[in-house]
Amino acid sequence: MIGPITILGVDPALTCTGYGLLRADGDRYEALDFGAIAPPAQAPIAERLLRIHEALSDVIRDARPDEVAVEDFIVGHVRAAVAVGEARAVALLAAAEAGLPAVLYKPSEVKQFVTSYGRGGKDQVALMVQALLNLEEPPEPADAADALAVALCHALKRSAIGYQQSVVSSARRL
């Protein structure tokens, strides 16, 4: 049995990094907080990265999550991949500075765990996050919904791994 855990999910991007705090206790999930970090678009890249780092560090300091789950980027447009990679690195750095374990998830893996379909659209992900977290409305902005989906993916994967480990342990006792 896996005890309660607080997970910070991060959907990194230079323009708007989403974050979502999730409390998972068994098969119960609760959104504690979510939002987006949107540095000024005209700011130099180094300044945008600094603002993302400071904001995520503040969230980590205030919320004290147990683990961090970060969405990885898909290789596509090289320029977009580099920008997302930079924001992803800042999220991983904030977690490491706080001594927190951080896990990366591919977008298709997040969608698979949350919607049961690895190619679900943003609207479908937001609606499933709303349903799974019993929210009145889908989380906004979309980056925050995606970050909550990353946290949910991590919680569901931890739960599945814990379940598999308990089955193996039970089988060994037979």
Give the model confidence (pLDDT) of 6-64 as tens digits: 999 999 999 999 999 999 998 899 999 999 999 999 999 999 999 999 999 999 999 99
143 counts as catalytic: yes
- Provide the pLDDT for residue 134: 93
CA distances to 38, 41, 93, 104, 124 from 98, in Å: 22, 28, 9, 17, 33
Helix, strand or coil for residue 68?
Answer: strand
> Of these residues, 71, 72, 86, 146, which one is catalytic?
71
Largest CA distance in the chain: 64
Q: For the whole model, what pTM was predicted? A: 0.88
66 counts as catalytic: no
Give the model confidence (pLDDT) of 65-106 as tens digits: 999 999 997 766 677 778 788 999 999 999 999 999 999 999
- Provide the pLDDT for residue 80: 74
Copy the structure tokens of residue 20.
């979502």
User: Quick check: bond before 4 cis, omega within 30?
Assistant: no
> Of these residues, 67, 72, 143, 146, which one is catalytic?
143
Considering the chain, what percentage of its residues have pLDDT values greater than 90?
Answer: 70
Helix, strand or coil for residue 135?
Answer: coil
pLDDT confidence bin for 136, thresholds 50/70/90: very high
62 counts as catalytic: no
Considering the chain, what percentage of its residues have pLDDT values greater than 70?
Answer: 89
Phi, psi of 156 (to 5 degrees): -65, -40
Cite the DSSP H helix spans in the chain: 45-63, 78-97, 107-115, 122-132, 142-173
Domains in the chain, please, with CATH?
5-173 (3.30.420.10)
> Please, what is the average pLDDT of the chain?
88
Give the model confidence (pLDDT) of 102-119 as tens digits: 999 999 899 988 887 767
> Of these residues, 11, 67, 72, 146, which one is catalytic?
11
